């Protein structure tokens, strides 16, 4: 597909009337006692179209994982709403809500070592969702598990084994099979490849890509590896200290970042090309991400921003669309 084709396809998809998943001012604070609160996610509005892959990047502590979990109801919402196919989801999930939504929305977790119960067999782990939600006979569950193990590149006779008998890449495949066996429409992938070696990352990414094509999945792909996110995603969203600073088409955003933070983030990402690296000035910035307990007034990036202005320290910039690009940026420069 040529660049123009893809661009128009992406514009069509973003212009679609009802996005599959939409958050409006989604907010999650954690109470720390003594009147202190962690502002983990603060007013994030994001729409994800059907069959779209949105990559969410940001430093650790920026709230990406909390956003993904709150979106799925694994954390209660503090404020804001999540709509799935236009239906507003409850702020606090009851057992029946999980039961109802499990077939639509699923999650693939970051750490394939701690997210699989070591005392359950592979058959039990992958098949648990089916036995709980699909009302199938155990023989049918077994059949489906065998089919899914094959689909993710494992053997059906692995069913009686335990997680410790598998390598990291194989465990991540188990996590994928467990999430996808209910054939959900929407999957949050929380750093699905960061615990894996380079050669195995490509295996898992390609597997996700194939399954997305064959099942029509919609994905929120959370990661900190910028090159991989650009490769995987249609659109890319950048998060800093609980709020979105920039959203746009993955390629455009990567090669032409507008927000100073995106620029720093992408400039800090070392490229596997020595000639390019030698010619590139260092974009390292001073300081670290501030604590989300005492969120600074105004723009949250102001104290580290190389282009900071007076207004930045007083007024919080809103995400506004840029005229010439399919891009939204929260910065007073625009």
Residues of the shown chain interacting with another protein in the complex, contacts defined by CB under 8 A: 59-60, 167, 169, 197-203, 205-206, 224, 226-228, 230-231, 251, 254-255, 264-265, 267-277, 282-286, 288-289
| Residue among 52 and 263 whose Cβ is closer to another protein | 263
Q: At what angle do helices 138-151 and 122-133 cross, to 10 degrees?
A: 120
Shortest approach of another protein to residue 167 CB, angstroms? 6
Shortest approach of another protein to residue 297 CB, angstroms? 22
Dihedral of the CA atoms 44, 225, 305, 42 (nearest 10)?
20
Shortest approach of another protein to residue 276 CB, angstroms? 7
Token pair of 232 as six digits = 């995987």
Cβ(320)–Cβ(333) below 8 Å: no
Q: Is 262 helix (H, G, I), strand (E, B) or coil?
A: helix
Burial of 214: CB neighbours in 10 Å, binned 0-12, 13-18, 19+ = exposed
| Residue among 214 and 255 whose Cβ is closer to another protein | 255
Count of beta carbons in the 10 Å neighbourhood of residue 87? 8
| Residue among 96 and 284 whose Cβ is closer to another protein | 284
| Residue among 291 and 318 whose Cβ is closer to another protein | 291
Token pair of 2 as six digits = 């040529």
Shortest approach of another protein to residue 98 CB, angstroms? 33
| Residue among 182 and 289 whose Cβ is closer to another protein | 289
Cβ(309)–Cβ(238) below 8 Å: no
Shortest approach of another protein to residue 173 CB, angstroms? 12
CA 29-33-39 angle, 5° bins = 20
Shortest approach of another protein to residue 195 CB, angstroms? 10
| Residue among 206 and 314 whose Cβ is closer to another protein | 206
């Amino acid at each position: 597909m040529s660049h123009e084709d893809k661009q128009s396809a992406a514009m069509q998809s973003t212009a679609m009337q009802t996005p599959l998943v939409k958050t409006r001012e989604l907010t999650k604070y954690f109470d720390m006692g003594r009147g202190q609160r962690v502002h983990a996610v603060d007013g994030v509005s994001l729409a994800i179209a059907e069959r779209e892959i949105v990559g969410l990047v940001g430093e650790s502590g920026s709230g990406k994982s909390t956003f993904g979990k709150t979106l799925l109801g694994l954390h209660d919402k503090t404020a804001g709403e999540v709509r799935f196919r236009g239906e507003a989801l409850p702020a606090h999930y009851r057992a029946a809500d999980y039961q109802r939504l499990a077939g639509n929305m699923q999650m693939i977790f970051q750490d394939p070592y701690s997210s699989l119960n070591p005392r359950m067999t592979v058959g039990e782990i992958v098949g648990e969702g089916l036995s709980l939600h699909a009302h199938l006979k155990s023989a049918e569950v077994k059949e489906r598990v065998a089919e899914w193990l094959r689909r993710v590149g494992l053997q059906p006779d692995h069913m009686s084994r335990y997680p410790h008998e598998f390598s990291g890449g194989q465990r991540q495949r188990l996590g994928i099979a467990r999430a996808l066996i209910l054939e959900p429409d929407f999957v949050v992938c929380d750093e699905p490849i960061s615990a894996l070696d380079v050669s195995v990352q490509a295996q898992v990414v390609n597997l996700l890509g194939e399954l997305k094509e064959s099942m029509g999945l919609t994905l929120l792909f959370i990661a900190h590896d910028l090159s991989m996110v650009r490769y995987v995603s249609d659109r890319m969203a950048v998060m800093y200290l609980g709020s979105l600073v920039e959203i746009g088409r993955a390629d455009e955003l990567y090669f032409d970042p507008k927000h100073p933070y995106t620029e720093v983030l992408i400039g800090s990402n070392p490229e596997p090309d020595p000639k390019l690296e030698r010619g590139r000035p260092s974009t390292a910035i001073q300081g670290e991400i501030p604590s989300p307990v005492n969120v600074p007034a105004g723009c949250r990036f102001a104290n580290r921003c190389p282009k900071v202005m007076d207004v930045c320290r007083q007024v919080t910039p809103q995400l506004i669309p840029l005229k010439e690009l399919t891009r939204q940026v929260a910065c007073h420069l625009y």
